[in-house]
């Protein structure tokens, strides 16, 4: 997970931004490439029972807001555990999984999901 850190106020952002929302213009050209460890804590969580077409096969699944150790917050699935094993405060780590595909003959796209640690 590669985001940025503001060279002025040190706040981290994911996904990467060109301007720090807090610092404004002074941060242009000062946003540094920042690699997150992938570790974080669950900030909020829900179990999705009614899903979009692409995700029908996975339900029920856990969607959570994860606060990464370095500060930024992201949204992702929590996998490899029972849905009721995830709550606010649960520690997780990112891993790479298939997110979906553009139909049976289209491109497959991959991204991060989180596992309980």
Partner 1 sequence: MAIIGAGMTEFGELWDYSFREMGIRAGLEALNDANISSEQIDAMFVGNMSAGRFIDQEHVGALIADYAGLAHTNVPSTRVESGGASGALALRQAYFSVASGIHDIVVVGGAEKMTDIGDAEMRSIQSAAADQEWETVFGATFASLFALMTVRHMHEYGTTREELSAVAVKNHRHGALNPRAQFRREIKPEMVEKSPIVSSPLRMLDCSPVSDGAAAVVICTSEMAKQFTDQPVEILATAQASDTLALHQRKSITEMLATKVAARRAFDMAKMQPKNVDVAEVHDNFTITEIMAIEDLGFFPKGEGRKAAIEGKTAIDGEIAINSSGGLKARGDPLGATGVAQIVEIIQQLRGNADKRQVADAKVGLTHNVGGTGASVIVHILGAGP
Partner 2 sequence: MDEGIVSYGAYIPRYRISPEEIGHIWGLDGASIAKGLMIEQKSVAAPDEDVATISIEAARNALKRTNVSPQKIGAIYVGSESHPYVVKPTGTMVAEAIEATPALTVADYEFACKAGTAAIQTCMGLVGSEMIEYGLAIGADISQCAPGDLLEFSASAGGAAFLIGSKDIIARLDTTVSYTTDTPDFWRREGQIYPSHGGRFTGDPAYFKHILACAKMLMEKCGTKPEDYKYAVFHQPNGKFPQRVAKQLGFAKEQIATGLLVTKIGNTYSGAIPLGLSAILDEASPGDRIFAIAYGSGAGSDGFDITVTDAISEFKRDAAPMVREMMENVKSIDYGTYAKYSRKILLAEE
Which chain residues interact with partner 2 by CB under 8 A? 57-58, 79-80, 95-99, 103-104, 108, 110, 113
- With CB under 8 A as the contact rule, the residue among 8, 23, 63, 115 that binds partner 1 is 63
Q: Least Å distance between CB 5 and partner 2?
A: 18
Q: Least Å distance between CB 56 and partner 2?
A: 8
Residue 68 pairs with which residues in a beta bridge? 40
Residue among 108, 51, 46, 114 at smallest CA distance from 80: 114
Pairing of strands 73-79, 108-116: parallel
- With CB under 8 A as the contact rule, the residue among 52, 104, 106, 108 that binds partner 1 is 52
Binds 37: which of partner 1, partner 2, none (CB < 5-8 Å by kind): none
**What does the block give as tokens for 16?**
């990467």
What's 26's DSSP letter?
Answer: G
Residue 19 as a binder of partner 1 (CB under 8 A): the answer is no
| Residue carrying structure tokens 């997150």 | 36
Binds 117: which of partner 1, partner 2, none (CB < 5-8 Å by kind): none
Cα dihedral across residues 18, 21, 27, 30: positive or negative: negative
Q: Least Å distance between CB 96 and partner 2?
A: 5
């Amino acid at each position: 997970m590669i985001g940025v850190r503001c060279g002025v106020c040190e706040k981290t952002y994911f996904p990467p931004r060109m301007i720090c929302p807090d610092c404004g213009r002074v941060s242009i050209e000062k946003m540094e490439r920042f690699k997150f460890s992938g570790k974080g804590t669950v900030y909020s969580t829900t179990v999705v029972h009614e899903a979009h077409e692409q995700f029908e096969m996975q339900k029920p699944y856990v969607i959570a807001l994860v606060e990464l150790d370095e500060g930024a917050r992201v949204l992702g699935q929590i996998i490899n555990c029972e849905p009721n094993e995830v709550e606010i405060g649960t520690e997780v780590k990112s891993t790479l999984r298939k997110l979906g595909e553009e139909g049976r003959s289209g491109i497959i796209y991959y991204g991060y999901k989180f596992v309980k640690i």
